[in-house]
Structures are given as structure tokens and as C-alpha cells.
Structure 1
Amino acid sequence: MKVVSLPPRRKLLVVLKGYPRLSETFIAQELLGLEKAGFDLTLISMRRPTDKKRHPVHDEIKARVVYLPEYLHEEPVRVLKGLFSSFRKPGFGALIKRFFKDLPRDISRNRFRRLGQAMVLAREWPDGGQWLHAHFIHTPASVTEYASLLTGVPWTCSAHAKDIWTSPDWELTEKLSSARWAVTCTRNGYEHMHTLTSRKDAVHLSYHGLDLARFGHFPGERSADDGSDPTKPVFLLSVGRAVEKKGYDTLLRALALLPGDLHWRFEHIGGGDELAKLKALAAELKLSERIIWKGALAQEDVLDHYRRADLFALACRIAANGDRDGLPNVLVEASSQRLPCISTSVSGVPELLVDGENGLLVDPDDPKALAKALETAIRDPALRSRLGDAAEMRVRSHFDYNASIDQLSQLFQQEWQKAS
């Protein structure tokens, strides 16, 4: 990885919805990569952590974390100090003008919360920040943009998936006209954002990739089990939050359609609001005895599961509110370990997996098609081996996160050279 020579004392304030989060290892990897590239970071989190575990990468990040008031009424003194301080800032008029332009289009408590958080950030202004960068273009970018208007400090953004597809077009257009630039991690999202701005050079495609040193080559042998022996069931794995866009109900219904003479077991790693509902569905489908629900696990434990499993499945879909995955990092992680993946042709998934070449893809919300793909892969260990080898080759040649860090470093450097 190229190390960018930065001007002295360039402090970058990174605004996050929550930190640390087990489900956002790709963000943690990027933060660590930027630190290693010479950036001086302070993390601004809009929420306190709710996960009980941490990944090792979180302990390697040296940046200080500052927590904004998650709810304004919980810290009224900080909020009032932020408000009174804002009256004296030269950008106050521009901020209020923008806020009252936004408010009629989004009359909500959240809109006032973002304004209050931005005012607190602008008053406290940790560690003499000289640049603002938001992770996610929805609520974190709202706080970041408001703070930028108030202080005059420029801002940039990393957009991902849910934040793009659940934000109204008017809001994305406004933010893309205000930010110096934005990056996003799938071509699908990149092309959508391009349609919403006339500043075509302000949107960049940057796959966040994987820290391949952390996910080294797995030289071990995969099993040759084919589901015919009840004492050697094929080990199916999935990692992801139990939320609508992950399609776990579709996956469970597909498992229920597998032939009775096929022997398999399934393990799920992850938390999520719909976990109880999924367990009830599994019981209804008479699958409970074949399923283990592991809950959230640390990264080293997830890696161990990738190396022991025979097949990885993730039935991504577009949720009713438009939410969807970009390119799920778990597919990249599993592929890096030669674990063959079955998924759906949603969003950025086909940018990693090509059906029949390095994985198997089916249409979303189609349990029958998913069951057919699962049965094919379970019965054919040679196919699993071929797909897994090809998947690893694809990841190691195209999804090294160092390329993304180099790109981000160069984008920041170009902006700071203009300001010098």
C-alpha cells in the first residue's frame, strides 16, 4: 500500500452512526487503513455501542472516540451550549436556511436531532478537526453537512447501501452538491448516485474490499461430504443480521424444500430484530433440529466457521422500504477462504459472484430456485471445490482493501493540496 505524505496537522473527524459495531467490519478496516496511511483521525459517533463483543480490528484503531448526544433530551446542557454557541458562528445563517429547506420535506424528530448533534459537534470541535468525513450518506451525512455549514470546514462522504436506497432522491442530490466528493462501494450504487448530480467527478466507485492479511489463504482440506451419509451432514453456514433484506425467511423455506434423503446442518451467525421470528419459522417448517443459532460472534470466531463450513448461503433481497445490501462483506470474507457461496442477483452481489464460475446465483425471493442450487452444491463436492477456488482467486485479485485505502488517500490529498 502506498503511504501518502500528508501536510502537517491534518486532523480528520469521521462521523459514524455508531461505533464500534460488529456488523461494520468494513468500516473498521478502512479506519485502521487510513491510520496506517498516516491520517490523524478522531471518531465522532452518533450512538453508543450496543454490541457486547468487539472485533480485534477495533482494538488496533488508535483514534479517540467522541459520542454525541444520542437523544437531545438526555443531555440538555450539551445541546443548549451547542445552540447558544451556534448563534455566534458565521455559518449559522446558512445552516438555518438549509435546515428550514429540509424540514418541510422531512418533518420528523430525527431532523431536529441531527441539527442538535451538529451544533454540539461544532461547539466542542474535538482535536482541532480540519476535515469532516461521514460514513453513510443518510443520517451521519446530515450531521456532517450541517456541521460543515456551521463551521465552514469541508466535508466528504462514504456511501454504502441502505443509506443510498432508503434516502429520498432530493436529499441525495442536495448532499452531493454540498460534499466535495463521495465514494460508494458498488457499481449499482455508483450509477444511481451519478443520475442525481451534475457533478460527475464528485462520485467515485471504491470497493472497500478485504484485509487479506487478516483473512489469509486457507490451505486446509474441504470435506467431500455429499449429503448421502446421515453421520456426515454437509455443513451450511450463513452470517448476517436477522433483518428483512438478508432474506433468511426465503433461505429457511428453501431448506425445507430439500429432499428428505439429503443430510445437512445449518448454522447462523448474527443478531438482529427478526431472530425470534426466524426461530419460530424454523420450528414451523420442522427444521429446528438441524439449525444452530450462534448469535453475534467476534471476527476470529467467524473466520473459524468459514474454514469449517462446506457451503455459504445468503438470500439477499430488496426490502419493502427499498433497503438492500450493497456487496455484503460476508460474501467477500467467505470467498477469501475458498468457501463456495450461493446468493442472489441483487445489487452488488454479481460484481463479486458470477453464476457457475465462482458461485451460484438465483433470483431473490425464490425458495424453489434457491433449494435447487443448494441441492446441486450439497450433492457435488467437486463443484463446491471448483467454485471455492475460483471465488478466492477473484477476491485476492480484485478485492484487496489496500486499493481502496490508496484511492481514498489520493482523494483527500488532492483536496488538501488545493487548500494549501
Structure 2
Amino acid sequence: MNTLSRPKLAVAVKGWPRLSETFIAQELVALEEAGYELELWSLRFPTDTKTHPLHDRLKAKVHYLPEYLHQEPLRVAKGLLRSMMRRGFWAACGTWLKDLRRDRTRNRVRRFGQACVLATELNPDIDALYAHFMHTPASVARYAAILRGMPWSVSAHAKDIWTSPEWEKREKLQAATHGAEFLATCTGVGAEHLAGLADRPDRVELIYHGLDLTRFPEPPATRDHSGPVNFLSVGRLVEKKGFDRLIAALALLPDDLDWRWEHIGGGGSDAKFRKQAEAAGVADRIIWRGACDQPEVIQSMRASDVFVLPSRIAESGDRDGLPNVLMEAASQKLCLLSTPVSAIPEFIDDGVHGVLSSDEPALLASAMESLARDPAKRAELADAAYGRLTSHFLMQPGIAKLDLRLRALV
């Protein structure tokens, strides 16, 4: 235990750094500033070519586990052999084999190999393990924690909750199956679902990420309403973000409305969306920015009129939680247009802090047109969203709750 009576933590993450996961970077930086000593263990190597300034503020040493076991066979073999000498090996192996029987995948094998490496290479001063995301990172942390005989905990978000099998979520929340000491999750809807799977409901804690406003400039005092109406979206080009529906809606906007749409974000479907825009006849009004760092995102938010995020539930069950980008847009008093999916209504009351529309293209287009033609309404909604953010969704209360939970680990 360190001198500030806070556990020294090893944090398991999917990848580091990631442009789309500023909420993780924000939390880890805040924990360091609160006095925590952290080690970061990433299951994957970075793929983004840019980083946010927030990533540079993290002081923790970053370690990369073997992304694929065959790429580092000696390291994996050493981890396995040393793990076999640990008292917790057979318990960890039994837990993993039970999981493997229900999930016969290479990914499940890889998780145990990574856990053996983690347990072997972990600094002996580490007091507890903490994972971000309930699926793969939590599995690696869980197996490693059993091997090392130490407590572990997890923060669950969106995809990991809604696409993980129920048996796995349940067992990660049960003391009898080496479950997490606690699980933090960032949405009320997620907390309710997971509490129903836990052996004790108090094992699950609702902790909104919130926003650290010290990282953002004051919102612009005024917006220029001359020229075209500027719609802005920020998000990966994946099904759950609903950008295919948005492009279809753009094609339905009336001819007399002068508009532009700017998209920021990466993803593997860029060509598909560009092709859809060409076919819909709206490509000449769209600006594709690709992945951007946070200063670039904020600059675009300050220059836009309406932020549009038509989230939906993907066929796989994947969905957003409460996208931090909505709060970031609210920090710049940018009018919000989204959908009543998952935890978005926990931040936006329809007609009060923004507009929640169906993602059906005709209805989405109608909502976009209405806001485009009413600058006064946009300003009213944006002011209310800013008030909602500053009164209920700042980062600091969540970090205080997380601090109490982490302190209780040891």
C-alpha cells in the first residue's frame, strides 16, 4: 500500500492510446492526480496515428501484453511456466477451462496466455487489478488476479455489457466464481441490468464519467448564423452510430435549406459511407475529416450549429452507453440532436436539453430541418444542456465515488 493509503493499481485496457476512449484517459489521469500509482497493461498495440493531449498527461508506465500469443512464444512460455508454480494456478486454470468449454475460441485461449504473462511480469508492489471493459480486459484481469491471489475490479461501459453472454457477466459478479470486488458502470440502464446479475446488488456502482471542464475552453459567446447551417457528427463509422440513417436523412432535406455536414471519426466503413453519400446526391455537402485529436474536435464544435448523433442498437446488440461526445458538445453550447437509445435520455430530456428523434430518416430529417430554421431554439436547448452538464455531469463526483471503491479493495 502506498503512503497515501491508496492501492497501487495495475490497469488492464483493450488498447492504449485510443482516440475514441477519452473517458478512460480522463479517468486515469484524474486517479493519478488524486494520488494513485498506476501501471497500464494494454492487450493490443495502438492503431490510431494521433493522440489527444490528455494521453500525454498520464505518467503511468505502459506495458503491452502479447497481442497474439504466437508472436512472442518465449514470453508466453515463461509466463505459463512461472504461473504453474503459483498457488492460484489450478484455480485460475479451472476457471478458464470452464469458460473455454462455453466459448471455444482462440480469443479465449489468448486471454489466459495474456493473463499468465501479466501475472508473471506484474510489479510485486501492485495491490490490485482494475480493468476497463467487462469482456476481454476483465477476463485477463480476473485470471491474473486468481493466479496472484489479489483483488480485482472492473469498469463496464456499453458494447461489453450488451454483447457479452449472460453467464460470463453473471460469473464476473459472483464471489463464488472469483468475481470482481466491485463493478463501476457509467449508465443507469447498465447498472440496473448488471445489478440483477450480481450476488449482491451493491457490488455494482453507477459512476457517470462526467466531464473535466478544465480541459475545455469556455463556450463561444455567440455563433454566426450567416451562411449554411453546419451539422457536425463525431463517432466511429460503425453500425451503432447510425450514420447510414443520417446520410439518408440528409438526402431528404428540402432544396431551399443551405446546409453542410462534417463528420469526424475513424472506422472501417469509410468507403461504404462515401459511396452512399454519392448515390444519395449529397456528397458535395459533406466534409469527411477522419480521425482528429481533441483540440481539432473542439474547434469544429465551436464552428458548428447542430451536433447530430443518431445512435441505434446494432444487429449484434451493440449500442452506445452515454457517449461522452454529447457532453463535450454541450460544453461548447452546441445544440444536441440524438436518439432515445440506451442512456442518452439520462443526459438529454427531449425538448429541454436537446432533441431526441427517431433514427428513421424522414423523422430525423424533419428534426434537423426544424432546428436548422430556428437559431433561437438551438440557443435555448444548448444553454439548457450546458446547465445540465455543469450541475449533474462533471467528472469530479464520479472520481470521488471511484476513489472510495478502490480504497476498499485492500
1:381 aligned to which of 349, 370, 375: 375
1:18-417 correspondence to structure 2 within 5 Å:
18-126=15-123, 128-177=125-174, 178-225=179-226, 232-364=227-359, 366-416=360-410
Query: 1:121 and 1:261 mapped to 2: Cα distance?
Result: 60
1:220 CA displacement: 2.6
1:126 CA displacement: 3.1
| Counterpart secondary structure, 2:15 | coil
Amino acid at match of 1:347: S
Query: 1:63 and 1:220 mapped to 2: Cα distance?
Result: 38
Query: 1:288 and 1:77 mapped to 2: Cα distance?
Result: 51
| Counterpart secondary structure, 1:46 | strand
| Counterpart secondary structure, 1:213 | helix
| Counterpart secondary structure, 1:14 | strand
TM-score of the pair, normalised by structure 2: 0.97
Query: 2:255 and 2:185 mapped to 1: Cα distance?
Result: 44
1:5 CA displacement: 7.8
Query: 2:5 and 2:383 mapped to 1: Cα distance?
Result: 43
Query: 1:343 and 1:290 mapped to 2: Cα distance?
Result: 21
1:223 CA displacement: 2.5
1:94 CA displacement: 0.4
Amino acid at match of 2:70: H
1:130 CA displacement: 1.1
| Counterpart secondary structure, 1:133 | strand
What residue number does 1:229 align with? none
Query: 1:243 and 1:67 mapped to 2: Cα distance?
Result: 26
What residue number does 2:5 align with? 7
Query: 1:192 and 1:44 mapped to 2: Cα distance?
Result: 28
Query: 1:316 and 1:331 mapped to 2: Cα distance?
Result: 11
Query: 2:187 and 2:385 mapped to 1: Cα distance?
Result: 18
Cα deviation 1:241-273 (Å, max 9, x = unaligned): 000000000010111111111110010000101
Query: 2:182 and 2:316 mapped to 1: Cα distance?
Result: 27
Amino acid at match of 2:343: G
Query: 1:405 and 1:220 mapped to 2: Cα distance?
Result: 30
Query: 1:292 and 1:216 mapped to 2: Cα distance?
Result: 24
| Counterpart secondary structure, 1:78 | helix
Amino acid at match of 1:285: A
| Counterpart secondary structure, 1:209 | coil
| Counterpart secondary structure, 1:69 | coil
1:153 CA displacement: 1.0
What residue number does 1:228 align with? none
Amino acid at match of 1:201: D
Query: 1:271 and 1:298 mapped to 2: Cα distance?
Result: 11
Query: 1:224 and 1:122 mapped to 2: Cα distance?
Result: 57
| Counterpart secondary structure, 2:214 | coil
| Counterpart secondary structure, 2:262 | strand
Cα deviation 1:180-213 (Å, max 9, x = unaligned): 0001000111111011123111000000011111
Cα deviation 1:151-170 (Å, max 9, x = unaligned): 10110000000000010010
Cα deviation 1:205-226 (Å, max 9, x = unaligned): 000011111124214311334x
Q: How many residue pairs align between the two structures?
A: 405
Query: 1:6 and 1:216 mapped to 2: Cα distance?
Result: 32
Percent identity of equivalent pairs: 54
**Structure 1 pair 218–127 and aligned structure 2 pair: CA distance change class (3 A):** farther
TM-score of the pair, normalised by structure 1: 0.95
Cα deviation 1:380-420 (Å, max 9, x = unaligned): 0000010011111111111111111111111112333xxxx
Q: Is the 8 A contact 1:41 1:63 kept in 2?
A: yes
Amino acid at match of 1:185: C
1:54 CA displacement: 0.7
Amino acid at match of 1:376: S
Amino acid at match of 1:316: S
Q: Is the 8 A contact 2:14 2:42 kept in 1?
A: yes
